[in-house]
A and B are shown apart, each in its own frame.
Chain A
Amino acid sequence: MTKGPRKQIHLGIHFPGVNSTTVWTDPRSGSQIDFASFEHLARRAEAAKLDFFFLAEGLRLREHKGLIHDLDVVGRPDTLPVLAALAAVTERLGLAGTISTTFNEPWELARQFATLDILSGGRAAWNLVTSPDAFTGANFRRGGFLPYAERYERAAELVEVARALWDSWDDDAVVADTEAGVFLRPGAVHPVEHHGRHFDVRGEFTTPRGPQGHPVLFQAGDSPEGRDFAARTADVIFSMHSTFEAGQAFYRDVATRLEAAGRPAGSLKILPATTVVLGDTDAEARERAREIRLQQVPGPTAIAFLEQVWGTDLTAYDPEGPLPDVEPDPQADGITRGRVRHVKDPRPVVAEWRARAAANGWSIRELVIEVTSRGSFVGTAQHVADELDRFVQADASDGFILVPHLTPGGLDDVLDRVVPLLQERGSFRTEYAGPTLRDHLGLARPATTRPRATDPERAAAALVG
């Protein structure tokens, strides 16, 4: 049916997060902190030839009703040291991590990612996020937070400076000629000078250019600003559009923005996060999926979820009973802190939920299970492989970031049973084609963006945003 080689699927694996997707009540649930958990997931992913391992970041523990939220997993390690440690126990797997642009400075971040790229032989990726709130800022010396509109402005300027720093060492800067006594080729380290709205950075960078030139850049924002930012800047979009139709629409939208940004098609990969539940029959898989959803949404979690929308205490209500009869408080802002509140005016949402619950006879818990369900592939290994491939071949995505519900073995069955089927049909690699994450993703190694001017003043001026 299709002509030419099959489009290749890209697969990442997400370390379970601190949210209700991760089931910690299951007896098979292991440590979220012990390095052995990270190593297990990474080694299994590499054995299955996946593109990358992904680790999210936290900068303040979530709070609910003024107290630390204790129903989900709480606590996680620092992103970059985990990835650096994983570089020691893997050889090819990409190592991607979320780092905020709001509470970090470009000089430090650029050297951390250059270091990770060197320590991993070219496998580093940075999922660049912006942090909006003063709540998180309370842990940092600059405190406060940025107005919404400035978040991407600061992020864009930070990336610009980081790239100037990564490019300030020529690829062949280190000659280490012991006879001649020349360690760095003269003139191969170019001073950087940047003066912008958010950053003033000047100096000789400390760290050689990494094997990938720049780490692979991920971006996860879904707002129009976020999509444009990704189209201009990112290599991968970590997307939340995991249904087929929404995925195709998002894919087309981003392709248009990418073209408008003057970048070639295929230079920005779209990878939605998704979960997978397998069974020997479709019915068995659906039953397992149902059990997992019940584990993910126990009664207290269902109540806490409604409280985020209602903006008021609902602990008096039975999660197995009908929806609260009180009206939501539209003024209550931030009953849950440390995660984005998407609902602006809760009243239409509540009205719709009441209608759906009444029509279907749902309890609070059943409603929450329904409205928090995201795209998931449920079925036999053959069915799931067919579906994953269908999405990618039809440009609903370029692949997926697989999110397990159990730490650390929650994807073992997917890696063992689904990936080989994708390999059989020629949609997924059976061996890594090269050593770097850019090789896995089919992304070009960036040339230095540093101007080749010989006049340092002109070179510096050209770097100013």
Chain B
Amino acid sequence: MPRPDPTANPPVHLGLDLSDAGAHPAAWRTVGSEARRLFDPERLVELVETAQRGALDFVLLDDAFALQPSRDTTLRGRLDAVLVAARLAPRSRGIGLVATVDTTHTEPFHVSKAIQTVDHASGGRAAWQVGWSTTDEVAAAFGRKPAQSEADAVAEADEAVEIVRRLWDSWEDDAEIRDVATHRFVDRSKLHYVDHDGIHFAVKGPSITPRSPQGQPPVVVRAQSPASLALAARHADVVRIRATSQSDAAARRAEVRAAAAEAGRDPGSLRVLVDALVVLGPDEASAQARLDLLQSLEGTRWETGSFAHVGTARGLAQLVQDWTETGAADGFTLRPASLHTDVAQIVDEVVPRLRAGGLFRSAYPGTTFRDTLNLRRPANRFSAAIA
């Protein structure tokens, strides 16, 4: 596994949210949205091809067990994000594939092998965004337990992530020996029971799936509350934060890093990315006009929850430079208002400006998502414990 050269990998990370038709709920109604292809995987293949032309770090596939909130005009309907990531894997190169999977109503054993399998199928480009559910609606869809508070759901997610991470290490890298002389396919001393016996789960292990190319696929956590901040500090490789300004982002990033240090981790091993809603245009007025059109179609205010850049590609490139150079962020999760309009502009107009300034890669530094994030492939906790 080649170690990425840090000097060849500028410290800006850019992901792209490919959920729905874009981050704005009215995006599907605009010209060119190809709304009828919303569930066509080839639409996503094309978007991923564009994103990897820009050598962006990752595409993000959101998911939930409930439909988007009901409004007659709104886009509704979801596909299983892990399977979408798997569908994209053989048709993409270099780019990370981040799939959201719930932990409140799923089994960590299934989650672990699903993400591992996307990692195998993609040659080491899978990542898991940890989800959790607190609504009555999702609880009723499973009917096994009542809705949980955020604190309880995040505590359960924390336990699930710990189990998944242990399962990912439950095979040592060289467990498969194919020793013809003794007729042993594996060296079973290199397979490990995880023997988790916790509050929400008891899982024996080992995984049925051998350790994957990244060993530990990156774990992505949205830190939007004290509970989820603590989860991110303990487990996340990539932390998504929301921020309303550069100084707000700086404060939140510092908070995440302090919490990680408190949890006994090197803050330098976390990548803190700010969610940025993006509406681009050739000038500020046209970008604003695009947003106004989207707002009028939807008929309500757009609750972005984080910073929104409504303006030019040049302005977004400048913003990325300012925020990352001052340590307000390690990068951004760009959430294009309209995928069909904004993705190409990000790749063709924002990325070249960042490259010209020496701020962004022109090619992927390695083959895996960890290489792109400049995170080393971790040693296996079980073999490390023996050594």
Q: Could you tell me which A residues sit within 8 Å of B by CB distance? A: 24-25, 33-35, 39, 58-61, 67-68, 70-78, 80-82, 84-85, 87-89, 103-105, 107-108, 111-112, 115-116, 118-119, 138-141, 143, 174, 176, 178, 181-184, 186, 189, 199-208, 298-301
Interface residues of B in 158-178 (CB under 8 A from A): 171, 176, 178
Q: Which of B41, B73, B105, B121 contacts A105 (CB 8 A)?
A: B105
Pair B36/A174 contact, Cβ less than 8 Å: yes
Which B residues touch A206, using CB under 8 A? Answer: 64-67, 77-78
Known: A176-B38, A186-B72, A298-B183. A34 touches B120 (CB 8 A): yes
- Provide the residues of chain A in CB contact with B200, threshold 8 Å: 141
Mark B6-38 against chain A: 1 for CB-CB distance below 8 A, else 0: 000000000000000000000011110101101
* Minimum distance in angstroms from A364 CB to a CB of chain B: 15
Pick from A61, A112, A183: contact of B74, CB below 8 A. Answer: A183
Of all chain A residues, which has the CB nearest B188? A68
| A202: nearest chain-B partner, CB-CB | B140
Verify if B94 is at the interface (C-beta below 8 Å from A): no
Subset of 7 A-B contacts with CB under 8 Å: A35-B121, A68-B186, A85-B90, A104-B107, A108-B105, A108-B142, A300-B182
State A378–B188 Cα separation when bound (angstroms): 36
Q: Does B333 contact A (CB under 8 A)?
A: no
Task: Please indicate the chain B residues that have their CB under 8 angstroms from the CB of A186 in the complex.
Answer: 72
Among B121, B183, B202, the residue within 8 A (CB) of A299 is B183
Give residues of chain B (82-103) contacting chain A, Cβ–Cβ below 8 Å: 82-91
Determine the distance from Cα of A411 to Cα of B79 in the docked complex, in whole angstroms: 34
Can you name the residue of chain A whose Cβ is closest to the Cβ of B38?
A: A176
Given contacts A112-B83, A184-B77, 8 further A-B contacts (CB under 8 A): A70-B184, A88-B89, A174-B36, A184-B72, A189-B76, A203-B138, A300-B182, A301-B183
B143 part of interface (Cβ distance < 8 Å): yes
- Taking a contact as CB atoms under 8 Å apart, the answer to whether A88 and B90 are in contact is yes
The secondary-structure label for the interface of chain A is loop
Chain B residue with the shortest CB-CB distance to A67: B188
B117 within 8 A of A: yes
B80 at interface (Cβ–Cβ under 8 A)? yes
Q: Which of A78, A82, A201 counts the most chain B CB atoms within 10 A? A: A78
| Binding stretch for chain A, among B205-213, B258-266, B287-295, B364-372 | B205-213
List chain B residues, Cβ under 8 A from A71: 183-185
Please tell me if B229 contacts chain A, counting CB pairs below 8 Å: no
**B31 surroundings in chain A (CB, below 8 A):** 178
Instruction: Tell me, yes or no, whether B204 is within 8 Å of chain A by CB.
Output: yes
Q: With an 8 A cutoff between CB atoms, is B106 at the interface?
A: yes
Output the residue of A35, A77, A116, A299 with the most chain B CB within 10 A.
A77
* Contact between B185 and A73, CB atoms less than 8 A apart: yes
B residues in contact with A78, CB < 8 Å: 110, 113-114, 116-117, 209
0/1 per residue, B56-81, Cβ < 8 Å to A?
Answer: 00000000111100001111111110
Q: With a CB–CB cut-off of 8 A, which chain A residues contact B72?
A: 181-182, 184, 186
Closest approach, in angstroms, between the C-beta of A410 and any C-beta of chain B? 16
Contact with B143, one of A33, A72, A202, A300 (Cβ below 8 angstroms): A202
Q: Which of A34, A60, A61, A182 gathers most chain B CB within 10 Å?
A: A61
Nearest residue, chain A, Cβ from B44: A119
Residues in B with CB closer than 8 Å to A84 are 83-84, 86-87
Chain B residues near A200 (CB, 8 Å)? 140, 143
B361 to chain A, nearest CB (A): 26
Contact B120 A139 (CB under 8 A): no
Q: Does B141 contact A (CB under 8 A)?
A: yes
Bound-state CA distance A305–B78 (Å) is: 47
Within 8 Å by CB of A75, from B39, B85, B88, B210, lies B210
B248 within 8 A of A: no
Say yes or no for B301: interface residue by CB 8 A criterion.
no
Q: Known: A35-B90, A75-B186, A182-B73. Is A61-B191 also a contact (CB below 8 A)?
A: yes
Does B203 reach chain A (CB closer than 8 Å)? yes
Do residues A140 and B176 form an inter-chain contact, with CB atoms below 8 A? no
* Cα of A205 to Cα of B186 in the assembled complex, Å: 42
Interface size class for chain B? 35 or more
Q: Are A201 and B38 in contact (CB under 8 A)?
A: no
Give A260 Cβ to nearest chain B Cβ, in Å. Answer: 32
Tell me the B residues contacting A by CB distance below 8 Å. 28-31, 33, 35-36, 38-39, 41, 45, 64-67, 72-80, 82-91, 105-110, 113-114, 116-118, 120-121, 123, 137-138, 140-144, 171, 176, 178, 180, 182-188, 191, 200-206, 208-210, 297
The 8 Å CB contact of B79, one of A33, A82, A207, A298, is A207
Contact B41–A75 (Cβ < 8 Å): no
* CA of A154 to CA of B91, assembled, Å: 38
CA distance A304 to B82 in the complex (A): 38
Which of A60, A77, A139 has the most chain B CB within a 10 Å cutoff?
Answer: A139
When A75-B171, A76-B209, A206-B65 are in contact, do A81 and B191 touch as well, CB less than 8 Å?
A: no
Report whether A115 and B79 are in contact in the complex, using a CB–CB cutoff of 8 Å: yes
Q: In angstroms, how far is the closest chain A Cβ from the Cβ of B237?
A: 20
For residue A191, give the distance in angstroms from its CB to the closest CB of chain B. Answer: 10
Whether B83 contacts A116 by the Cβ 8 Å rule is: yes
Among residues of B, the one whose C-beta sits closest to the C-beta of A34 is: B120
Contacting residues, chain A, for B203 (C-beta < 8 A): 138-141
CB distance from B89 to the nearest CB of A (A): 5
Most chain A CB inside 10 Å of its own CB: which residue of B38, B77, B144: B77
Q: Give the Cβ gap from B26 to chain A, nearest Cβ, in Å.
A: 8
Contacts of B140 in A (CB 8 A): 200-203
- Inter-chain contact B120/A119, CB cutoff 8 Å: no
- Is the pair A138, B75 in contact by a Cβ cutoff of 8 Å? no
Q: How far is the CA of A68 from the CA of B116 in the complex (A)?
A: 21
Q: A25-B180, A206-B67 are in contact. Are A81 and B114 (CB under 8 A)?
A: yes
What's the nearest-Cβ distance from chain A to residue B105, in Å? Answer: 7
A112 to B82, CA, bound (A): 9
Of B45, B138, B200, B206, the most chain A CB neighbours within 10 A belong to B206
* Contact status A88-B87, CB under 8 Å: yes
Please determine whether A108 and B106 come into contact, CB atoms closer than 8 angstroms.
yes
- The CA-CA distance from A462 to B45 in the complex, in Å, is 41
A201: chain B residues within 8 A (beta carbon): 140-143
In the complex, the answer to whether B87 meets A87 with C-beta atoms within 8 Å is: yes
In the complex, what residues of A have CB within 8 A of residue B180's CB?
25
CA distance A178 to B82 in the complex (A): 29
Q: Which residue of A lies closest to B25 (CB)?
A: A183
Does B204 contact A60, Cβ atoms closer than 8 Å? yes
Whether A141 lies near B204 (C-beta < 8 A) is no
Rounded to whole angstroms, the CA-CA distance of A42 and B180 in the bound complex is 28
Task: Let me know if B186 and A203 touch, CB within 8 A.
Answer: no
User: Top 6 closest A-B pairs, CB basis?
Assistant: A200-B143, A81-B86, A176-B35, A84-B86, A138-B204, A115-B80
Q: How far is the CA of A70 from the CA of B187 in the complex (A)?
A: 7
For the complex, give the distance between the alpha carbons of A299 and B78 in Å. Answer: 52
Chain B, residue nearest A58 (CB): B208
Q: From residue B70, how far is it (CB to closest CB) to chain A in Å? A: 8
Chain A: minimal CB distance from B52 (Å): 15
State the Cβ distance, A252 to closest chain B Cβ, in Å: 38
Say how far B344's CB is from chain A's closest CB, in angstroms.
Answer: 20
Docked-complex contact B84 and A115, CB < 8 angstroms: yes
Residue of B nearest to A71 (CB): B183
Please report the C-alpha to C-alpha distance between residue A226 and residue B120 in the assembled complex, in whole angstroms: 35
Which chain A residues border B67 with CB–CB below 8 Å? Answer: 189, 204-206
A58 CA to B114 CA, complexed, in Å: 12
- Which residue on B lies nearest to A138, using beta carbons? B204
Contact call A119/B87, Cβ cutoff below 8 A: yes
